[in-house]
A = this chain, B = another copy of it.
Amino acid sequence: MHIIVDLCVVPLGVGVSVSPYIVACEKILKAAGLKTNLHAYGTNIEGEWDTVFAAIKQCHETIHAMGAPRITTTIKLGSRTDRLQTMEDKIRSVQEKQ
């Protein structure tokens, strides 16, 4: 199943600077061959269900291994069967009506 995801990973118990953990997660997503786009409150991801969630699981494992005792993550996840839609399609469908 092809999905578009928005991922926001928040390590707890490591202070207020969380960017080193986000960087580690970005590397995992890219190494998995996923299409990603970083924004100011998370990362858009596009790919197959199993690949996406295997990568997100690896993000949790890696961030714990880096020393974060607790992680809270927010995921938005869209799938559709009526047509294939890319991340660019979603943005364009809004922008061309503006």
Contacts and interface: CB of A to CB of B under 8 A. Distances in A.
Interface of A: 1, 4-6, 8, 10, 12-13, 15-16, 18-20, 22-23, 26-27, 37-42, 44, 46, 49, 53, 57, 60-61, 64, 69-82, 87-88, 90-91, 93-95, 97-98
Contacts of A5: 41
A98 B26 contact: yes
A60 B5 CA distance: 14
Nearest to A50: B57
B26 A94 contact: yes
Contacts of A38: 91, 94-95
**Which of A4, A20, A41, A87 counts the most B-chain CB atoms under 10 A from its CB?**
A41
Contact of A94 (B8, B23, B82): B23
